[in-house]
A and B are shown apart, each in its own frame.
Chain A
Amino acid sequence: MNATDYHGHGHGETPSGTGESLITLTDVAFRYGPAPVLTDVELTVRRGNFTGVVGPSGSGKTTLLRLLLGTLRPVAGTIDRSPGLRVGYVPQLESVDWNFPVTVAECVLMSRSERRVPWPSRRERAELSAILERLGIGDLANRHIRALSGGQQQRMFIARALMCSPDLLLMDEPTTGVDFTSRHEMLHLLGDLNAAGTTILLTTHDLNGVAAHLPSLLALNHTVIAAGGPAEVITASVLERTFGAPMEVLQHLGLPVVLDPGPHLAPVRARRTG
């Protein structure tokens, strides 16, 4: 199995734009200070979507997630949620206090915060072990959270989000701090969750390793630059408008491949123009 296999079967299973609308953003704007972070954002998250949000640092990706979550309110525009919508959130691994004394089971059960006693009910315990098994971390329930690998930590937070049976799973950079193989496994896992009915929206910095394999994408830079499948969004013109720098996009085995505009770029250019 390699990353391209995922793309092959991932497409088509998650057709975009067909399900009922879960959240609709209309003309949404947000600012923390005088400078706007997001302006004129139009976005509909539909049931069954599996969408990646790409954009440079500071482009408003995390702010968009927070608006979708409802922990931030827009300064302009409206956000319509379908009634009774349950949203699960998976934070960035960097934002977590890894010294906090909490085991995997304790962490996963947190999201059932409405329970009025500390210990889990028999039903909760069964759900907990089923979800941990499903995510491949069934034998780690009593470990401290820091004793897990990056990929396992990420799955623990997915398990926490899944414990409240979310309609929509929001994930902030789920593949950051995770090695190549785990990233690949993560994409498969998310693809399977999506196929089983969970709507997913994630942010990512990784254009080649993650974004190119997702069924639908959103290019964000303070507003929505482009939306659609990888073929429509991972193009030289959209990426240049999104990232503010020229990027070259090649095709390889049916997938767009973005050339890193790093140290290689200058010599290549020089040879071409010279």
Chain B
Amino acid sequence: MWDLLDPYHYEFFVRGVLAATLAGALCGLVGVFIVLRGMSYIGHGLSHSIFGGFAVSSVVGANYYLGAGVWGLASALAVNAIARSKKIGADAAIGVITTASFAFGIALISIFGSRGASFDAALFGSILGIRPLDLWVLAGVSAGVVAIIVTRYRALLFTSFDPDVAGAHGVRVAATDALLMLALSISILATLNVIGVTLVAAALVIPAVVARMLTHSFAHMLVLSTAIGSVGGFVGMNLSYHLDVPSGTMIVLTDAAFFVVVLAATSVRRLPDLAVPAPVRAERRIPIS
């Protein structure tokens, strides 16, 4: 039998579990906005393009956060510029830029080999790849993202629900969108070591989708999605150790298991509010004045 507490004697594992729990929670939190705004593909694209930056910094021996951060920003700007030119759509621009960046990264590493950081770890996440610095960066990014979401909560909600009306009510829509893109980018950057380039999109989307099936309230969805993400990260990292499978893989599979269970449970018991469409009915007279 496995001794479930055994790995907790290793410092690297404790660090890994902490990082995975935090990374899962962070992705769950940001993922709510990504899912509700239909931005899943942007998250997928951003993580892939950041891999190009990871490869460059690994080959030249530069700091990962600096290299991948600058690279990710450059790709986002390139996507924006190409989409703005209106020659091709934004989704096609994301497809071209980010997959080219990903392919470039793989080519670089295949030719020169990577120094230090492991290729597999960047793709699928690794329990061994988490240094104390990574944990600190992750904690800092989480605090920053929580601060953004708490202080701009209503503006973020309004622009996600109805950007046109939000603008009409004086919300600075473009600035709010930019803030959310910033939160998404730094979240991906900070969680890449734990979850991996190819799996970050799933860690962003699944907890939010599961939470959506459980509630009709936006505030509840944020809390639930964060909780589901953190449990997914915690359980996934433990499974990763015992099964000797990359951490990102097990985190995403744990999230997916939640999805299946909740989908089955909510199919049996439909949410009462939406079980039947509300009838159009005459309303009582409203006394006013």
Please determine whether chains A and B interact with each other in the same assembly. yes
Residues of A within 8 A of B (CB): 66, 69-71, 87-89, 91, 95-97, 100-103, 106-107, 109-118, 134-136, 142-144, 146-152, 161, 164, 170, 178-179, 181-182, 185, 188-189, 192-193, 195-196
> How far is B279's CA from A182's CA once the two chains are assembled, in angstroms?
13
| Interface segment, one of B41-49, B135-143, B147-155, B178-186 | B147-155
From B158, B274, B281, A144 is in contact (CB under 8 Å) with B274
Q: Is A135's CB under 8 angstroms from B286's CB?
A: yes
Given known contacts A96-B162, A188-B288, what 6 new A-B pairs fall within 8 Å (CB)? A101-B215, A106-B217, A146-B277, A147-B278, A152-B283, A170-B168
Q: Number of contacting residues on B, CB 8 A?
A: 40
Q: Residues 260-288 of chain B: 1 if any A CB is under 8 Å from the residue's CB, otherwise 0?
A: 00000000000001100111111111101
Nearest CB of chain A from residue B78's CB, rounded to whole Å: 28
The chain B residue with its CB closest to the CB of A69 is B168
- A147 CB contacts on chain B under 8 angstroms: 216, 273-274, 278
B221 interface residue per 8 A CB criterion: yes
From A87, A102, A182, A193, B161 is in contact (CB under 8 Å) with A102
24 A-B Cβ contacts within 8 A?
A: A71-B164, A88-B169, A89-B168, A95-B162, A100-B218, A101-B221, A102-B218, A103-B217, A107-B161, A110-B157, A113-B170, A136-B284, A143-B273, A144-B273, A148-B278, A149-B281, A151-B280, A151-B283, A164-B169, A179-B280, A181-B282, A185-B283, A185-B286, A188-B286
Q: Is A118's CB under 8 angstroms from B165's CB?
A: no
B289 interface residue per 8 A CB criterion: yes
Nearest CB of chain B from residue A260's CB, rounded to whole Å: 22
Query: Contacts A96-B162, A110-B161; is A136 near B278 (CB within 8 Å)?
Result: no
Query: Contacts A100-B36, A102-B157, A181-B283; is A113 near B273 (CB within 8 Å)?
Result: no
- A149 CB contacts on chain B under 8 angstroms: 278-281, 283
> How far is B154's CA from A91's CA once the two chains are assembled, in angstroms?
18
> How far is B168's CA from A170's CA once the two chains are assembled, in angstroms?
10
Nearest CB of chain B from residue A61's CB, rounded to whole Å: 15
> How far is B155's CA from A112's CA once the two chains are assembled, in angstroms?
9
Q: Is B273's CB under 8 angstroms from A89's CB?
A: no
Residues of B within 8 A of A (CB): 36, 150-151, 153-155, 157-158, 160-162, 164-171, 212, 215-219, 221, 273-274, 277-286, 288-289
Nearest CB of chain A from residue B257's CB, rounded to whole Å: 22
Q: Is A106's CB under 8 angstroms from B274's CB?
A: no
- A102 CB contacts on chain B under 8 angstroms: 157, 161, 216-218
The chain A residue with its CB closest to the CB of B272 is A147
Nearest CB of chain A from residue B275's CB, rounded to whole Å: 10
The chain B residue with its CB closest to the CB of A118 is B153
Nearest CB of chain B from residue A180's CB, rounded to whole Å: 9
The chain A residue with its CB closest to the CB of B271 is A144
From B162, B169, B170, B212, A97 is in contact (CB under 8 Å) with B162
> How far is B32's CA from A118's CA once the two chains are assembled, in angstroms?
15
Nearest CB of chain B from residue A87's CB, rounded to whole Å: 7
- Tell which of B151, B168, B285 has the most Cβ of chain A within 10 Å: B168
> How far is B219's CA from A117's CA once the two chains are assembled, in angstroms?
12
- B169 CB contacts on chain A under 8 angstroms: 88-89, 110-111, 113, 161, 164
